[in-house]
């Protein structure tokens, strides 16, 4: 007999997933972490393995999974451009077959299911900041399409399972999030700049650095995810979660340099294809519905993230 809430986290040994597993355990849940270790590592959840309420399963979500759970957080999908463009067909399969398999599981066991969607569904937006009812401007045949269109189609599937089968769904559009346990080589801007600065290598700004992003610290995001999952059944989302403080990429490079010190120079490299010009979440809905507001300022979150990467460096991991 099960008294505890059983929660499945796909992509649970990745950056966000590992923090989510930790929080769910702290709140008294049983957690089953499913991952194929494409970008996630056992190391990210090593500290949870001795917890009797935690289970780690190697599994690829593009194949069906038969387990008994009460809630599902579907995070499995590479999130950085380098990783999702490495095998774009597999990325699309992960988003779409993964969503179908997890929705099928949710339907069979009547579980509530959360989808980690993304601000990339807005593409290169003409509206700023982006509210949830903005339909987006995505290039369906570009280099980012495997990720953007995969995530858009996953949202479609979630809403069709909701309308057609009455599933309890929560769709969350996550904006750029950073923190410890980001993959040091995944090419995302925060980890790239910190690792470059720590190693005294050039800081690679793509384009002229005037494009903007809004960076949310991982603890704030995980808090928002759990609150969204706890909303009444009739609330489906989509809901934006992210930090509305907006920075140019050049400002981020300067902030990281100031914090780390050292001798790195900023160098300018070509802008990748379809790189969005600007991005900033409108979080009115999150404020109103779940009373959520990010609390960690970029300057403070960067200090914690730099500490993490310096730790990896002093242990010779990077």
Directed axis angle between helix 298-314 and helix 189-198, to 10°?
50
**How far is the C-alpha of 41 from the C-alpha of 281, rounded, in Å?**
29
Asked if 162 interacts with ligand UDP (CB under 6 A), we say no
**How far is the C-alpha of 170 from the C-alpha of 173, rounded, in Å?**
10
Query: For ligand NAD, which is the closer residue by CB, 203 or 218?
Result: 218
Residues 168-227 that bind ligand UDP (CB under 6 A): 176, 187-189, 192, 204-206, 211, 213
Asked if 194 interacts with ligand NAD (CB under 6 A), we say no
Q: How far is the CB of 62 from ligand NAD (least distance, A)?
A: 5
In the residue annotation, 66 being an active-site residue is answered as no
Q: What is the chain's Cα-based Rg? A: 19
Which residue of the set 147, 161, 178, 217 is catalytic? 147
Buried b (16+ CB within 10 A) or exposed e, 44-75: bbeebeeeeebbbeebbbbeebebebbbbbbb
Dihedral angle sign, alpha carbons of residues 88, 90, 93, 94: negative
Q: Single out the segment in contact with ligand UDP by CB under 6 A; choices: 125-133, 157-165, 269-277, 292-300.
A: 269-277
Binding at 73: pick from ligand UDP, ligand NAD, none (beta carbon under 5-8 Å per type): none
The pair of structure tokens assigned to 254 is: 């300067």
Alpha helices in 178-217 (DSSP H): 189-198
Residues 155-174 that bind ligand NAD (CB under 6 A): 174
* Among 6, 9, 45, 94, contact with ligand NAD (rule: CB under 6 A): 94
**How far is the C-alpha of 115 from the C-alpha of 17, rounded, in Å?**
12
Assess contact for 200 and 263: CB atoms under 8 A: yes
Q: Single out the segment in contact with ligand NAD by CB under 6 A; choices: 6-14, 64-72, 134-142, 205-213.
A: 6-14
Give me the residue label for tokens 């981020």. 252
Asked if 254 interacts with ligand UDP (CB under 6 A), we say no
Asked if 118 interacts with ligand NAD (CB under 6 A), we say yes
Residues 11-50 that bind ligand NAD (CB under 6 A): 11, 13-17, 35-40
The pair of structure tokens assigned to 7 is: 């929660």
Residues 55-84 that bind ligand UDP (CB under 6 A): 80-81
Active site residues: 147
């Amino acid at each position: 007999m099960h008294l505890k809430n059983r929660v499945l986290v796909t992509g649970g040994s990745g950056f966000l997933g590992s923090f989510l597993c930790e929080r769910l355990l702290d709140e008294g849940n049983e957690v089953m972490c499913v991952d194929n270790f494409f970008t996630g590592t056992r190391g990210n959840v090593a500290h949870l393995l001795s917890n009797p309420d935690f289970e780690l399963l190697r599994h690829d979500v593009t194949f069906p999974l038969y387990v008994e759970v009460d809630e599902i957080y579907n995070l499995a999908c590479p999130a950085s451009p380098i990783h999702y463009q490495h095998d774009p067909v597999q990325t699309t399969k992960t988003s779409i077959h993964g969503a179908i398999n997890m929705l099928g599981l949710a339907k069979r066991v009547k579980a509530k299911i959360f989808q980690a969607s993304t601000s990339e569904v807005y593409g290169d937006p003409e509206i700023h900041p982006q509210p949830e009812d903005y339909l987006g401007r995505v290039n369906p045949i570009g280099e980012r399409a495997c990720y953007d269109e995969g995530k858009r189609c996953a949202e479609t599937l979630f809403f069709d399972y909701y309308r057609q089968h009455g599933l309890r769904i929560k769709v969350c559009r996550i904006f750029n999030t950073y923190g410890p346990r980001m993959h040091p080589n995944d090419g995302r801007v925060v980890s790239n700049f910190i690792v470059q600065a720590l190693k005294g290598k050039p800081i690679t700004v793509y384009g002229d650095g005037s494009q903007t992003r809004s960076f949310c610290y991982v603890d704030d995001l995980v808090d928002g995810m759990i609150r969204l999952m706890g909303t009444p059944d009739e609330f489906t989302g989509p809901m934006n979660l992210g930090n509305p403080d907006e920075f140019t990429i050049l400002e981020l490079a300067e902030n990281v340099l100031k914090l780390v010190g050292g001798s790195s120079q900023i160098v300018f490299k070509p802008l990748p294809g379809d790189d969005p010009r600007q991005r900033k979440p409108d979080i009115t809905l999150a404020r109103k519905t779940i009373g959520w507001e990010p609390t960690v300022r970029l300057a403070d979150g960067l200090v914690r993230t730099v500490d993490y990467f310096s730790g990896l460096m002093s242990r010779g991991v990077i």
